[in-house]
Amino acid sequence: MKITVIGSGYVGLVTACCFAEIGNDVICVDHDQRKIDALRQGKPTVYEEFLPELLTRHGGARLNFSWDLVESVRSADIIFVAVGTPQSADGQADLSYVEAVAHQIAPALGNGFKLIVNKSTVPVYTAERVRRTLLLSGAKPETFDVASNPEFFREGTAVTGFLYPDRIVIGADADRSVALLREVYQPLTTGAYRETATAIPPPQNALAKIRLIATTTKSAELIKHSANAFLAMKVSFINAVSNVCDAVGADVEEVCEGMGSDARIGKRFLKPGIGYGGSCFPKDIIAYRAVAIENGYHFNLLTEIMRTNEEQRLRFIAKIRRTLWNLKGKRLGVLGLAFKGGTDDIRESPAIYIIQALLREGCIISVFDPAAMKNARECDFGSQLKFAEGAYEAAQGCDALLILTDWEEFACLDLVRLRGELKHPIIFDGRNLYSPEEVAKAGITYVSVGRPDVSPEGLPVASL
Ligand code: UGA
């Protein structure tokens, strides 16, 4: 199949590389010439496992990059639209890029039937609006159809998430379009791809059989927003529970174990911490709420999910203040900048939010992140923040160490060495990466989320 992917951000680039990997001829289009130049040289523009391999494997052969949208659309059977849908001032998704692309696609239609597919996360009715825009721009109705095929992969595991998904959702109102999309995904749904000798290895929890769910465009659009909102709700729910645990002296990790063992609930996305972030959950929930209101329904639960998320960050800062007393002039080591482990993405990162709040309080911060330092250096944090070369360096001479991102390497630090680096042996763990007993045994006071604080013998109790 000849596929064109418009947009080379996280979603567009991974989609393009993976479609090439499962045997299609792909052109990935972006108007940013610098990105196209880099990608043509095989340099990934986002940090994602397996992306460099796929670029090397298919770049210049089955996978090409271009800034010529019209030409790329002309040569394609299916066009996936994966441009950004940022948040506009009123909370709604800003769909102006999607609309602009539709206007640009229209003149390239006419040589045979083409299927235009929304891959970006978009609100309900977007496929309908894209269809109308194409018609307004002069496209003949018999030359195209518009479908919805939301993507569910996660940053950090995007390539394996694409190749081994839990399900594939296609929303299309014409049988012909459903058939085309079924054909594209066949190597994944039949399991043929995983049998190929060079297949990217499946993750541990990969399903043997991948279901393709065919539905209407409206339902597909709602599936995406509802799935993200539900996951964010799970995170906010367990964070709210962690606050009750803090209040009564219970252990939220044990509560999670007990709750999550109910198959109807499940343990995934039930990890307490400093709240969710990233480029999807915060934006999507606001957009979902806006679209519900626009259609006459006040989805108040979504407002509460966001409020709990915001509160979680503030509560963590309050714990630090309660333990360290005055924050002005305190030296803090910080581990983590990315919104979660496994990515260099700092968009809407709770770590960044907390760092900025502490800098405003007059703290002096030394921070380390295994992948997100480059992105963070582009922000203006002022002179009170220094970038360290590693976790132990970040801790050197500090009044306390903060863990703000769940990187695996932060979960297996040498605690005794860390204790030696710190001026005062205190760790605030916003991701519950350690067992409290283990940290206390290393002679460190440990304050985490939803679990009683622990102090080694002889040291004052962390919080009052
Ligand atoms: C999310 C969804 O999980 C994907 O299914 C979806 O495709 C994607 O958004 C999108 O719309 O494009 P992602 O933003 O990459 O993926 O990140 P997640 O792994 O879902 O994590 C989101 C946030 O929730 C992170 O800040 C993470 O630290 C936090 N989180 C997650 C928790 O605090 N606890 C958990 O148990 C799980």
- Interatomic CA distance for residues 341 and 41, integer angstroms: 27
18, 49, 155, best to mutate for ligand 1 pocket (most atoms within 8 Å of CB): 155
For the segment 28-43, what is each residue's pLDDT rounded down to a tens digit?
Answer: 999 999 999 999 999 9
> What is the whole-number distance in angstroms between the Cα of residue 11 and the centre of ligand 1?
14
- Ligand 1 centre distance from Cα of residue 69 (Å): 31
Ligand 1 mean position, distance from CA 123 (Å): 19
Distance from C-alpha of 206 to C-alpha of 165, rounded to nearest angstrom: 7
**Rounded to the nearest whole angstrom, what is the distance from the C-alpha of residue 231 to the centroid of ligand 1?**
8
The contacts found for 173-176 with CB under 8 angstroms, 24 or more apart, are: 173/145, 173/147, 173/216, 173/217, 174/145, 176/113, 176/145
Considering only CA atoms, which of 347, 353, 315 is closest in space to residue 334?
A: 353
Task: Please give the distance, rounded to the nearest whole angstrom, from the Cα atom of residue 313 to the centre of ligand 1.
Answer: 16
**Cα–Cα nearest to 54, from 20, 4, 79, 24:** 20
**Contact in structure between 245 and 48 (CB atoms under 8 Å):** no
Atom of ligand 1 nearest to the CA of 279: 14
Whole-angstrom distance, CA of residue 200 vs CA of residue 47? 17
pLDDT at 462: 52
Pocket of ligand 1 (CB under 6 A): 121, 151-155, 228, 231, 235, 269-271, 273, 276-278, 280-281, 339-340
Q: Name residues of the chain where pLDDT drops below 50.
A: 463-464
Q: Which atom of ligand 1 is nearest to the CA of 270?
A: 36
Give, to the nearest 10 degrees, the angle between helix 281-294 and helix 300-324. 150
Question: Ligand 1: which of 276, 313, 354, 448 to mutate, most ligand atoms within 8 Å of CB?
Answer: 276
Token output for 66: 């271009």
Nearest CA to ligand 1 atom 20: 154
Give the Å distance between the CA of 227 and the centre of ligand 1. Answer: 11
Which residue's CA is minimally distant from atom 18 of ligand 1?
A: 154
Residue nearest to atom 37 of ligand 1 (CA): 269
The Cα 256–Cα 268 span in angstroms is 10
| 3-state secondary structure string across the chain | CEEEEECCCHHHHHHHHHHHHCCCEEEEECCCHHHHHHHHCCCCCCCCCCHHHHHHHHECCCEEEECCHHHHHHCCCEEEECCCCCECCCCCECCHHHHHHHHHHHHHCECECEEEEECCCCCCCHHHHHHHHHHHCCCCHHHEEEEECCCCCCCCCHHHHHHCCCEEEEECCCHHHHHHHHHHHHHHHCCHHHHCCCCCCCCCCCCCCCEEEEECHHHHHHHHHHHHHHHHHHHHHHHHHHHHHHHHCCCHHHHHHHHHCCCCCCCCCCCCCCCCCCCCHHHHHHHHHHHHHHCCCCCHHHHHHHHHHHHHHHHHHHHHHHHHCCCCCCEEEEECCCCCCCCCCCCCCHHHHHHHHHHHCCCEEEEECCCCHHHHHCCCCCCCEEECCCHHHHHCCCCEEEECCCCHHHHHCCHHHHHHHCCCCEEEECCCCCCHHHHHHCCCEEECCCCCCECCCCCCCCCC
> Of the residues 224, 228, 312, which should be mutated to test ligand 1's pocket, given the most ligand atoms within 8 Å of the CB?
228
Confirm whether 245 is a catalytic residue.
no
C-beta atoms surrounding 34 within 10 Å: 9
Q: What is the pLDDT of residue 461?
A: 60
Q: Atom 35 (ligand 1): residue with closest C-alpha?
A: 269
**Nearest ligand 1 atom, CA 271:** 36
Whose tokens are 């009044």? That residue is 399
For residue 350, give the ligand 1 atom closest to its CA.
26
- Measured in Å, residue 228 CA sits from the centre of ligand 1 at 8
Residue 464: per-residue pLDDT: 42
Most ligand 1 atoms within 8 A of CB, residue of 13, 151, 154, 242 to mutate: 154
CB burial class (10 A; 0-12, 13-18, 19+) of residue 135? middle
Gap between the Cα atoms of 430 and 351, Å rounded? 9
Assessment of whether the complete model's pTM goes beyond 0.85: yes
| Identified catalytic residue from 280, 363, 379, 398 | 280
Ligand 1, atom nearest to 121 Cα: 11
Q: How far is CA 265 from CA 20, 240, 406, in A?
A: 36, 16, 22
